[in-house]
Amino acid sequence: MSTQREIARRAKTSLKTVSRVINRDPLVNQATRARIESIIAELGYEPSQAARMMRSQKSNIIGFLADGVTTTTSSIDLVRGAQDVAWERGKQMMLFNIERGASSAELAESQLAAFRAEAVIYAAVFHQAIDFASSTTPHVLLNCFDSESRHPAIVPDDYRMAYDLTEIIFQRGYRRPAFLNLGSDVFASGLRARGFLDCAAAHGLDLAEDVHTAVASPAGAPPVFMADQILTVLMGKEAQPDLILCGQDILAMDVYFVLGQMGLKVKEDVAVASFDNLDPIAELLRPGLSTMALPYYEMGRRAMELAIEGSAKTDIHRLQGSFVDRQSF
């Protein structure tokens, strides 16, 4: 790749004039500008970011630490949202797949320090509380929050999403929903249980007995669904549930099959609702899964906006989900 010096030589002009053309300084004669621009186009020249970073002491780089995120289909939208904003604002996003606590996390942080990243977004797979030490570069937490709130955080409003979804369920006439919740290691599960129960209480019902933990996450192993056992018990009762609310779409998928094996039809015999709107599963299930979409894309955007604008506040930003209505209840 050539340099401004080379261009100046060819255009028989000074280095500075080339620089002016590139930086759109109006103080350049039309003819000179045209001449220089044609040489630039001819050479396919691009100004060196490295040199610009040196000179300006600004990197325009935002780091994105994805803690297992890109291996998990549900949250690629976090990355997409963040990248779209970075793009719009002329920033460069650097993505790292890491495992928290492992050496990959440290290495990524030092790489980002070496590039003089202006901010870092740390994204977790599941909504959770983490203990995140402060650092010289500002950090924004995504889909998680610092237990001592030293950093701004973007999380889904799980309480509200559960409340709203439950409200829709009641509005449609269901009265005996059972909630197959996520494991208690996921922070969202507690919030959702409260949202579910509060909404039920507002309708004069106590459903405390109807919340079940349906997902176990053994260390180092894939999560295990317990839909099978739970549904066997529930559907054997006299007062069968009329709707199964699932903590995530892949659990709902499992529920579809378990119900099928029991000879029960989704919606006709028992309705199903869920959280995630996971592409392509929610769409592909038959009947299509009516589910509360998590605002991952928007969360990614907001995180990047905060990272770029450098909010000094350490607020927790809770984003709303949106209900995607299909045919499962």
Partner DNA sequence: TAGGCATTGTCTCACGTTGTCATAACAACG
Partner DNA sequence: CGTTGTTATGACAACGTGAGACAATGCCTA
- In 3D space, the residue among 295, 35, 62 whose CA is nearest the CA of residue 161 turns out to be 295
41 binds its own copies (CB under 8 A): no
58 binds DNA (CB under 7 A): no
Select the residue interacting with DNA from 16, 58, 89, 265 (CB under 7 A): 16
* Nearest approach, Cβ of residue 22 and DNA (Å): 5
* Nearest approach, Cβ of residue 132 and its own copies (Å): 16
Q: Single out the segment in contact with its own copies by CB under 8 A; choices: 47-55, 126-134, 186-194, 237-245.
A: 47-55
11 binds its own copies (CB under 8 A): no
CA distance 26 to 249: 56
Q: Single out the segment in contact with DNA by CB under 7 A; choices: 20-28, 128-136, 205-213, 265-273.
A: 20-28
**Contacts (CB under 7 A) with DNA, residues 298-327:** none
Report what 141 binds from its own copies, DNA, none; CB cut-off 5-8 Å by kind: none
Q: Which is nearer to its own copies, 115 or 170 (CB)?
A: 115
Q: Specify the DSSP element, H or E, that contains 121.
A: strand 119-130
Using CB under 8 A as the binding criterion, the count of chain residues that bind its own copies stands at 47
CA distance 36 to 241: 75
32 binds DNA (CB under 7 A): yes
Q: Which is nearer to its own copies, 195 or 300 (CB)?
A: 300
* Nearest approach, Cβ of residue 328 and its own copies (Å): 13
Report what 31 binds from its own copies, DNA, none; CB cut-off 5-8 Å by kind: DNA
Q: Which is nearer to its own copies, 91 or 192 (CB)?
A: 91
Interstrand relation of 215-216 and 224-225 (parallel, antiparallel or unpaired):
antiparallel
Q: Single out the segment in contact with its own copies by CB under 8 A; choices: 46-54, 141-149, 186-194, 313-321.
A: 46-54
The residues that touch its own copies, with contacts defined as CB under 8 A, are 1, 44, 46-51, 53-54, 59, 70-71, 73, 76, 79-80, 83, 87, 92-95, 97, 104, 107, 110-111, 113-116, 136, 222, 250, 253-254, 257, 260-261, 279-281, 283-286
Interface residues with DNA (CB under 7 A) are 3-5, 12-20, 22-23, 26-33, 47-48, 50-52, 54-57
